[in-house]
Chain A
Amino acid sequence: QKEVEQNSGPLSVPEGAIASLNCTYSDRGSQSFFWYRQYSGKSPELIMSIYSNGDKEDGRFTAQLNKASQYVSLLIRDSQPSDSATYLCAPLKIVGTYKYIFGTGTRLKVLA
């Protein structure tokens, strides 16, 4: 079992729709969770962080965390073609180590 699992996609959504990106993780030692956006040929860009159970909103982005289910998600409202990218989920393990464990990412395509 991979430490971080993401559906590789592509996830295709029409412009203006809500894109829902999901991530599960195996290590309960993960305490903080980060979402990165990576455009093709570019480096990862931090877009959201979430530290406690529940929802956290920032503009069109909402991160959701459920530690009991070991599940974290990212919702993108009013999706735009410029949101087309790969989204990487990265839990931070702090028990016994201090390491960000990156998933392989979900490729999102927003269709105009």
Chain B
Amino acid sequence: EAGVVQSPRYKIIEKKQPVAFWCNPISGHNTLYWYRQNLGQGPELLIRYENEEAVDDSQLPKDRFSAERLKGVDSTLKIQPAELGDSAVYLCASSLGQQQFFGPGTRLTVL
């Protein structure tokens, strides 16, 4: 069974530029999560989807971050414009039931 797929794996951009991350969850997993992980910290939830509905986006900085999950399968997370403090690893995860599985992540560096 294929795991959670994310792309790109690495991204380096200059501040104020836009960036987008893509995630394809494990087949059949209707719950999808986007997390941000800073160095030395645990993952922090940005947004959770149940199928195509964003059911928890309370931690998503909505002035610059947006996300979508069209058709309830793959998802895109966008930052526009990026700031220096957005440098982190962005993790996508999916679950069916309570067991959650992570993708490899996208390491974002904002210069």
Interface residues in A90-104 by Cβ distance below 8 A to B read 90, 92, 97-100, 102-104
Q: Are B41 and A98 in contact (CB under 8 A)?
A: no
- CB-CB under 8 A from A102, the residues of chain B are 42-44
Q: Are B101 and A46 in contact (CB under 8 A)?
A: yes
Determine how close the nearest CB of chain B comes to the CB of A92; give it in whole angstroms: 6
Interface size on B, residues (CB 8 A): 19
Q: Which residue of A lies closest to B91 (CB)?
A: A43
Q: Are A90 and B42 in contact (CB under 8 A)?
A: yes
Stretch in B14-22, B66-74, B102-110 touching the partner: B102-110
A57 adjacent to chain B (CB < 8 Å): no
Task: A43 to B105: give the CA distance in the assembly, Å.
Answer: 6
A42 adjacent to chain B (CB < 8 Å): yes
- CB-CB under 8 A from A104, the residues of chain B are 40-42
A34 adjacent to chain B (CB < 8 Å): yes
Q: Are B98 and A32 in contact (CB under 8 A)?
A: yes
Contact of B56 among A8, A44, A88, A98 (CB under 8 A): A98
CB-CB under 8 A for A43 and B99, given A98-B56, A104-B40: no
Q: Are B45 and A99 in contact (CB under 8 A)?
A: yes
Which of B42, B43, B55 has the largest count of A CB atoms less than 10 A from its CB?
Answer: B42
- Give the top 8 A-B pairs by smallest Cβ distance, nearest first: A102-B42, A43-B102, A43-B105, A44-B102, A102-B43, A32-B98, A43-B104, A104-B42
